[in-house]
Amino acid sequence: MRKNAFSLSFLVLICLVFTSFSTPDEQDKMVLISTPMGDIKVRLYNETPLHRDNFLKLTKEGFYDGTLFHRVIPQFMVQGGDPDSKGAAPNAILGNGGPGYTLPAELNSRFIHKKGALAAARLSDQQNPEKRSSGSQFYIVQGRTYTPDILQRMVQNRNLQNRQMAFRKFLSKPENANYVERLNRCQANNDQQGMVTLEKEIEPMIEPDLAAGKVNYTQEQIDLYGTLGGTPHLDGAYTVFGEVVEGLEVLDQLAAVTIGSNDRPAEDQAMTVKVLD
């Protein structure tokens, strides 16, 4: 009996130790972005761990302290995180700086560009087809409201663009030159059926790209865009990794400042960022 009791106790101990190392920390991480207009409290998503951990790391290093909201577009967003903005001359063009690395995209259909969404800036699709995020630059969405009808048309257009982009990406690869030749022959001969057949043949091979960029809103998300607002045309293209939980009125004040050249505020809007316990 003593041996069995010992064995049971040992197994329980092993299970507890294993659980302590394998259970993820579900506690949401919060950061405070202080601006001349007031404070913005942001929750970082555990579901985007690469972006969450990178933002926390840079914040703890003081990377963001003294940087500016260097790009402000009313009814769209406010952008910051460029280290080159620290002490920048009034007419300096900003937005090209970073920590020297980028992050893989962490696209998640649950996280949309609603008002208050925290998302990572990045280079355009032409320069950055993998949609990798800037290592430091971010934006906070202000946006505007959209009716369900307008939102549906935007979704249809976006999914069509995503489909076209996936096909172009596939056809641009040297190993797929034979498909380009077949497409050119179909076009030269006005062979519509041949193009349909070719499209159906290629489609399974680009399914991951089609699925990654496809937008399909839930009713809750449709309602959010109709009431709270946001910038839905960015969904599926930029990584959203957090949201404002306090300070939307501060966001509105930042978005209302006087703008100079290149969407830069006429008066510097510097920030400090700290991690909240």
Q: Residue 26 has what pLDDT?
A: 65
Place of tokens 């699925």: 211
Tokens of 228: 């709270």
Q: What mean pLDDT is predicted for residues 35-45?
A: 98
Q: What CATH number matches the domain at 29-145+228-276, 3.30.470.20, 2.60.40.10, 3.30.1330.10, 2.40.100.10?
A: 2.40.100.10
In this predicted structure, the answer to whether residue 41 has a pLDDT above a threshold of 50 is yes
Nearest to 133 by CA among 210, 78, 54, 208: 54
* 135: pLDDT strictly greater than 80: yes
**CB-facing half-sphere around the CA of 109: CA atoms within 13 A:** 11
Report the C-alpha gap between 134 and 254 in whole angstroms: 22
What are the structural domain ranges in the chain?
A: 29-145+228-276, 151-211
pLDDT for residue 2 is more than 90: no
What predicted TM-score, i.e. pTM, was given to this entire model? 0.82
CA distances 105 to 83, 128, 274, Å, are 21, 11, 24
pLDDT digits (tens, 9 = 90+) for 94-127: 999 999 999 999 999 999 999 999 999 999 988 9
Kindly compute the dihedral angle of the four CA atoms of residues 116, 119, 125, 131, in this order, to the nearest 10 degrees: -140
Residue with tokens 């045309």, as numbered in its chain: 233
Which tokens go with 177?
């030159």
pLDDT value at 4 more than 80:
no
